[in-house]
A = this chain, B = another copy of it.
Amino acid sequence: MEVSGLANTPQPPYYAVTFTSIRTDGENGYAEMAERMARLSSDSPGFLGMEHAASDGLSITICYWESLEAIAAWRQHEEHLLAQQKGYEQWYDSFATRVCRVERDNVFSRPK
């Protein structure tokens, strides 16, 4: 799943969930889960887009959503709940999830 570009989000307001994390050592099935969660979230109602980057041990994923209701539904998705549990048990040394209302944005694309 391609998440290395800019998300094509609508006019604000909309919502962003930022997930910033530092992994524990070891793979422990992480990559497979991450791929699965990216696919599942992008298939969820109200999903608007995703941006991801990782370097120097820090991973940042931002998911954009239409509404708090869409975020709540994704948060309670059965497979996502299992992934969250594994995150606490095994995958993450530390993380922060932040639920944000996007008040305004400024998008630039260089003319070709």
Contacts and interface: CB of A to CB of B under 8 A. Distances in A.
A24 B108 CA distance: 13
Contacts of A20: 6-7, 51, 62
Query: Interface size bucket, A side?
Result: 35 or more
A55 B54 contact: yes
Interface in A70-112: 87-88, 92-110
B94 A110 contact: yes
A57 interface: yes
A22 B107 CA distance: 12
Interface of A: 4-7, 9, 12, 16, 18, 20, 22, 24, 51-60, 62, 68, 87-88, 92-110
